[in-house]
Amino acid sequence: MDLGAERASDTQAAIAAERVSAMILSGELRSGDRLNIRDLVKQTGIGATPLREGISRLIARGLVNALDHRGFRVTETSPADLEDIMRARLPLESEALRLSIERGDDVWEAHVVSTLHRLVNFMNWAPQDPREAAFGFDAVHKGFHTALISACGSQRMLAFLDVLYDQGFRYRHLMLTHGDPRRHLQGAQRIEEHKQLGELAIRRKPKQAIDALRHHLLTFSDDVFKDNAEARSQD
């Protein structure tokens, strides 16, 4: 989704889609909120027509719902929904990883190594500002997971996983803005998980890599909602 990459050539509608998307992912617009067009026009300076068009593009990404004659609203989050994201990611990302391991060349390997390095670095040196931490982490974390599956050869799998990743970002952000972000990121086993995953991929151990991925995905939900009773109630 390339957050914040607005070129001058982009149309207003495309800019609107990115802006509203960013507002939702970052939590500025909260779960269930109505998208008041007039307010958004004021806030963004974009006209109502391109705004509506941009928002319409987010519907199929699962960030927004449209109710006839009742406008748009931000798709609601819930623990069950987060589980659903991970359940859907699992078979898709497993297969993409398998294909990637099978087909990836040495350029792919180098890509995995370098993105893993950046991720580990970030987790060790994360900034204390939650907002900065969330967006920074998102960039390097998504970079690593995308690198892992980048050699799978299926445009659609990559596209779907991109959607699922962005949907998950709403929850990651929720987690990182509650309490000290470094507490979440520096949990030793979380860093270790990523290292293992990357190494198993490069050593072409598909089954073990997929197992590591499964564990990684299925424990994330706990991480978000575990000791965060507040987070749950603020949905």
Partner DNA sequence: AAAGCAGCTTTTGTCGATAAAAATTCTGTT
Partner DNA sequence: AACAGAATTTTTATCGACAAAAGCTGCTTT
* CA–CA distance, 149 with 151 (Å, rounded to integer): 6
Please give the helix or strand (H or E) that residue 168 lies within, else none: helix 155-176
8 Å CB contact between 96 and 145? no
Q: Which of 94, 90, 30 is closest to 64 using CA atoms? A: 30
- Residue 234: half-sphere exposure toward Cβ, Cα within 13 Å: 17
8 Å CB contact between 218 and 88? no
Residue 131 or 214: the one with the smaller Cβ distance to a second copy is 214
Applying CB under 7 A, which of residues 36, 43, 121, 124 lies at the interface with DNA? 36
Q: Does 42 bind DNA (CB under 7 A)?
A: no
* CA–CA distance, 124 with 117 (Å, rounded to integer): 11
8 Å CB contact between 160 and 146? no
Q: Which two tokens stand for residue 112?
A: 């995995």
Q: Does 11 bind DNA (CB under 7 A)?
A: yes
Q: Among 7-15, 94-102, 127-135, 182-190, which window interacts with DNA (CB under 7 A)?
A: 7-15
Site residues for DNA, 62-91, by CB under 7 A, read 66-72
Q: Does 30 bind DNA (CB under 7 A)?
A: no
Applying CB under 7 A, which of residues 53, 83, 109, 193 lies at the interface with DNA? 53
Applying CB under 7 A, which of residues 24, 25, 46, 119 lies at the interface with DNA? 46
**Beta-bridge partner residues of 71:** 67
Helices (H) and strands (E) in the chain, counts: 11, 3
Residue 17 Cβ, how far from a second copy at the closest point, in Å?
9
Applying CB under 7 A, which of residues 50, 104, 130, 136 lies at the interface with DNA? 50
Question: How remote is the C-alpha of 72 from its chain's centroid?
Answer: 22
Q: Does 7 bind DNA (CB under 7 A)?
A: no
Choosing among a second copy, DNA, none, which partner's interface includes residue 62 (Cβ < 5 to 8 Å by kind)? Answer: a second copy
Where helices occur in 29-153 by DSSP H, the ranges are: 37-44, 48-59, 79-103, 106-124, 130-149
Residue 43 or 124: the one with the smaller Cβ distance to DNA is 43
Applying CB under 7 A, which of residues 35, 82, 119, 224 lies at the interface with DNA? 35
Contact footprint for a second copy (CB under 8 A): 9-11, 13-14, 49, 52-54, 56-57, 59-62, 66, 68-69, 84-85, 87-88, 90-92, 94-95, 154-157, 159-160, 163-164
Residue 6 or 227: the one with the smaller Cβ distance to a second copy is 6
Where do contacts with DNA occur on this chain (CB under 7 A)? Answer: 9, 11-13, 34-38, 46-50, 52-53, 66-72
